[in-house]
Structure 1
Amino acid sequence: MLIFRFSFLIVLLACLQACTPAVQENAKPVFYPWEKYLTAQIDSLSKHPQSVHKTILLDGKKEEKQLSTIDWKQEWAMFLHADLNKPAAATSYDNLSEDGFVWYSLKSNENLAVKKLYIQLDALDRPAKVEIEIEEKNFLFETHKKLNMNFVDGRVQTYSIDGSQQMRWMSPTHYQLMGVLLPK
């Protein structure tokens, strides 16, 4: 009798798995190649360094710096992580794009960190302005980030990150980072 139940359970599980839609591992999302574009900007800045004027506000305290050496991959890590071209995101976003701009908005029934990716394009279909909204929530903390980047002739000119983090047992932290790439 036990063998019969075990065999029945295996058959039932096999049937259920056969009825479950398979996730295509090789499915290629069709989102704008944001990460590729930004990686090309990072590579260009690594080969042809450019100074940046940074302003940082942390809970109302302001600090300004002019830096000639920067690790751009680290500096723009939040922007890079907002890439939607991952299999998990393939069906998670509504495409609201039209001529001249790319706009992806997270579907209401999905739970991913990137809520919105908006890219205004120039006449050559290069980014002119990028806006990204990120929210993460779990038992310990809640974060909100708004990322912006402005381009001129296909090259980053300014970028900013405006965010807050609320730890469950602490008061919220607010921060802003603004960077302006200086002419060579």
Structure 2
Amino acid sequence: MSSCIDEPVRDTSGTSKFVNVAGFISNQTALLDSLNPAVEKKVLIGEKQEQQTLQNIDWQRELELFIQADISKPALQASFDIEEQDKNIRIFRPREGENPDIDYLKVTFDEKNQQIKTLEARISQENYLFESEKMISLQCITNASGQPQISAYQIKGFQKLIFNDKVPYQIEAKIL
């Protein structure tokens, strides 16, 4: 089934260097739903830590935070500069004067097949009621069908409501 999934990672015309993160996550959701892998998950909220191995994950819900890092929409593309460290690494940062919630997005591509190998982003929001910051990252392997498949992901951040203390949290997951 995974071989039938097109990975909308890049614009093949070569005119756009933006990565369709939402499309990539949507395809990963479908792939992981079909495979139904177990996940070893460690969660830390404040001082409380829990570790479990889980099955039957709602992958759409589990990976929805990564969709927030999608800057491929034309309205958002104008807000970001692209830095290519080499042909396999792209970093997207807000242009001066722009203030999107995405502080940066870094995508590393597999040298051989130019598919997503790692994705990393920092998302922050602040207003008079709350402040939050999330560092998200994921790593992919190339599966037996030659397609990228998420093998691990991490979310680290904090949330602070106006009259409360800052609550740090961290999630580490490894797909088995």
Q: Which TM-score applies when normalising by structure 1?
A: 0.80
Compute the displacement of 1:46 (Å).
1.1
Which runs of no fewer than 5 residues in structure 1 stay unpaired?
1-27
Q: Does the alignment pair 1:118 with 2:106?
A: yes
Aligned to 2:40: 53
- Asked if the contact 1:165/1:173 (under 8 Å) is kept, the reply is yes
* Partner Cα distance (1:72, 1:29) in 2: 28
Greater helix fraction, Structure 1 or Structure 2? 1
If you compute each CA radius of gyration, which structure gives the higher value, 1 or 2? Answer: 1
SS in 2 for 1:96: strand
Change over 3 Å in CA distance of 1:44–1:52 after alignment to 2: same
Structure 1 segments of 4+ aligned residues over 4 angstroms from their partners: none
- Residue in structure 2 matching 1:33, options 9, 17, 20: 20
Which residue number corresponds to residue 156 of structure 2? 162
Q: Deviations over 1:51-103 (max 9, x none)?
A: 10110000021101111110111001110121112233121001112311121
Separation in 2, partners of 1:130, 1:83: 11
1:100 matched to which residue of 2?
88
Identity %: 25
For 1:96 and 1:90, locate their aligned partners in 2 and report how far apart those are by CA, in whole Å. 13
C-alpha distance in structure 2 between counterparts of 1:55 and 1:142, whole Å: 24
Gaps of 5+ in 2: 1-14, 143-147
Q: CA deviation at 1:150?
A: 0.8
Greater fraction of residues in strand: 2
Task: Confirm or deny that 1:127 pairs with 2:116.
Answer: yes
Task: Name the Cα RMSD after superposition.
Answer: 1.5
Partner SS for 2:138: strand
Post-superposition CA distance 1:78-137 (Å, at most 9, x none):
101211122331210011123111211112311111111101110211111111111101
Matched, 1:148 2:137: yes
TM-score computed with the length of structure 2 as normaliser: 0.83
